[in-house]
Structure 1
Amino acid sequence: MKTLIVYSTISGNTKSVCERIYRVLKSEKKIVNVKDIKNVKVEDYDNIIIGFWCDKGTMDKDSIEFLKTLNNKNIYFLGTLGARPDSEHWNDVFENAKKLCSENNNFKDGLLIWGRISKEMQDIMKKFPAGHPHGVTPERIARWEAASTHPDEDDFKKAEEFFTNLLNK
Structure 2
Amino acid sequence: MKTKASVASGAILTLFVIGIFLAPSVLRAQQEVEEKPSVAETTLEQHKVRQITIDIIDNKVFGKVPVKSFHKKIHQNGTNCELCHAVKEPTAPPDTRNCANCHGTPEDAAKRTVKLDPNPHNSPHWGTELPCDACHKEHGKSEFYCKNCHHFDYQVP
Name the TM tier (shorter chain).
under 0.3
Taking structure 2 as the reference length, the TM-score comes to 0.22
- Quick check: which one's strand share is greater? 1
- Quick check: which one's helix share is greater? 2
Which has the higher relative contact order, 1 or 2, with Cα contacts under 8 A spaced 6 or more apart? 1
Bigger-Rg structure (1/2): 2
